[in-house]
Chain A
Amino acid sequence: MNSRPQTLAEKILSRASGASVVQPGAIVTGQVDLAMIHDSGGPRRVSPILQRLGVPVWDPERVVVITDHYVPTFDADSEQILALTRDWVREQGISRFYDQQGICHVVLPERGHLRPGMLVVGGDSHSPTGGAFGCYMFGIGATEMAGVLATGEIWLRVPETLRIEWDGTFGPGVLAKDVMLFLCGQLGMDGGRYQAVEYAGSAVARLSMQERMTLSNMTAELGGQAGLVPPDETTAQWLQAHGSDPGDWALWHSDPGATFAEQHHFDAPALSPQVAAPHSPANAAPVAEFHDVVPEVLYLGACTGAKLEDLRAAARLLKGQRVRSPMQLWVAPASVRDRQQATEEGTLRILEDAGASILPSACGLCAGYGPQRLGPGQVCLSSTARNFKGRMGDPTSQVYLCSPYTLAASARAGRIMDPREFLEEA
Chain B
Amino acid sequence: MAHGRVWAFGENVDTDQLAPGALMKSPLDELARHCLAGVRPEFPQEVAPGDFIVAGKNFGMGSSREQAAQALVHLGVKAVIAPSFAGIFQRNAYNLGLLVLECPEAFRLHEGDQLEVDPRSGTISNQTTEETLSCVPVPEFLMAMLEDGGLVPHLERKLKQQKAT
> Interface on A for B, CB 8 Å cutoff?
27, 49, 52-55, 125, 139-144, 146-147, 150-151, 155, 189-190, 193-194, 223, 225, 390
Residues of B within 8 A of A141 (CB): 64-66, 88, 91-92, 95
Quick one: given A27-B141, A141-B64, A190-B86, are A53 and B152 in contact (CB under 8 Å)? Answer: yes
B159 contacts partner chain A, Cβ-Cβ < 8 Å: yes
Closest to B11 in A: A190
Can you pick out 21 interface pairs between chain A and chain B where the beta carbons lie within 8 Å of each other?
A: A27-B141, A27-B142, A53-B152, A53-B159, A54-B159, A125-B64, A125-B88, A139-B64, A140-B88, A141-B64, A141-B65, A141-B91, A141-B92, A143-B92, A144-B151, A146-B152, A147-B95, A151-B155, A190-B58, A194-B90, A225-B87
Write out the residue numbers on chain A whose beta carbons fall within 8 Å of the beta carbon of B88.
125, 139-141, 194
Least distance between B42 CB and chain A CB atoms (Å): 26
User: With A and B bound together, what is the CA distance between A139 and B92 in angstroms?
Assistant: 11
Residue from B57, B84, B95, B139 with most neighbouring chain A CB atoms (10 Å): B95
Tell me the B137-165 residues at the A interface (CB within 8 Å).
139, 141-142, 150-152, 155-156, 159
Are A143 and B87 closer than 8 Å at their CB atoms? no
B40 vs chain A, min Cβ distance (A) = 21
Contact of B152 with A143 in the complex, beta carbons under 8 Å: yes
- The 8 Å CB contact of A143, one of B58, B63, B150, B159, is B150
| B89-116 contact mask (Cβ, 8 Å, vs A): 1 or 0 | 0111001100000000000000000000
Q: A223 with B141: in contact, given A53-B156, A143-B152 (CB under 8 Å)?
A: no
Q: Which of B61, B95, B142 contacts A190 (CB 8 A)?
A: B61
Least CB distance from B112 to A in Å reads 29
Cα A27 to Cα B152 with chains together (Å): 20
Whole-angstrom distance from the CB of B73 to the nearest CB of chain A?
12
A residues within 8 A CB of B139? 27
Which of A52, A147, A151, A189 interacts with B61 by CB under 8 Å?
Answer: A189
Q: Is B21 an interface residue (CB 8 A)?
A: yes
Chain A residue with the shortest CB-CB distance to B66: A141
Q: Are B86 and A194 in contact (CB under 8 A)?
A: yes
Query: Please, which residues of chain B bring their CB within 8 A of the CB of A54?
Result: 159
Q: Are A53 and B155 in contact (CB under 8 A)?
A: yes
**Which of B21, B64, B141 counts the most A-chain CB atoms under 10 A from its CB?**
B64
Instruction: Report how far A54 CA is from B158 CA in the complex, Å.
Output: 12
